[in-house]
Amino acid sequence: MTLTRPSTKASRQAWVAATLADRHVRSQEELARLLNERGVPVTQATLSRDLDELGAVRVRAADGSLVYALPGEPGGPGSRPGLAGALNPGSSMEPIGGAAVSPGDAGLAGDAGLAGDAGLAGDAGSAVGTAAAPGRPRLARVASELLISAEASANMVVLRTPAGAAQFFASVMDHAAWPSILGTVAGDDTVLVIAREPAGGAELAARLLALAERRR
């Protein structure tokens, strides 16, 4: 499978939360190093803001050391998507918490209240790779706020979003009517996208990544 991570705030903060759930992290320097090893480079100033927005606190671990933890339980209401297992499937580390951030917090889903907006109909007819397509600006805006990662295999793409945002994201993609997308199935924080071409998943994931990063 091919995994892509857009360099967006939503994606970065999801991997911060997943790393804290996967490891006992004692300092921001250690967290920055772990993120960089996982392909998520971040500056100290940005990391400090992310931890503040995620509500990170220092708690005492079983060995007596102070480690970062996030409020809420992984997989619970308002938590970040379950990326921790994908980071280190063999880890025996007990999770120390999940981020209690709702889809409307921190600007992650600013358009979430517009899911029923009649303006969605105006997105129909856009095409992959067509800069002037009417649905592209809206999908690009939503992808930049909600797309955390995209993993492709054959003609399938699995997209991760903040908790509760997957159905809205899928709706925007459906109304954009990309010819290369056969259909979408949405859960809570996961969207399964089916590409029309038998091996079109990787290209579709790359185009969604490019949209999220506002690249032509």
Question: What's the CATH class of domain 2-107?
Answer: mainly alpha
Whether 2-107 and 114-212 share one fold: the answer is no
User: Was domain 114-212 assigned CATH 3.30.1360.40?
Assistant: yes
CA dihedral over 79, 102, 62, 15, signed as positive or negative: positive
Residue ranges per structural domain of the chain: 2-107, 114-212
Share of the chain above pLDDT 90, in %: 44
The single-letter code of the amino acid at 155 is: N
- At 26, give phi and psi (nearest 5°): -95, -15
173 or 128: which carries more pLDDT confidence?
A: 173
Q: What is the pLDDT of residues 26-79, one digit of tens each?
A: 999 999 999 999 888 999 999 999 999 989 999 998 888 999 998 864 444 334
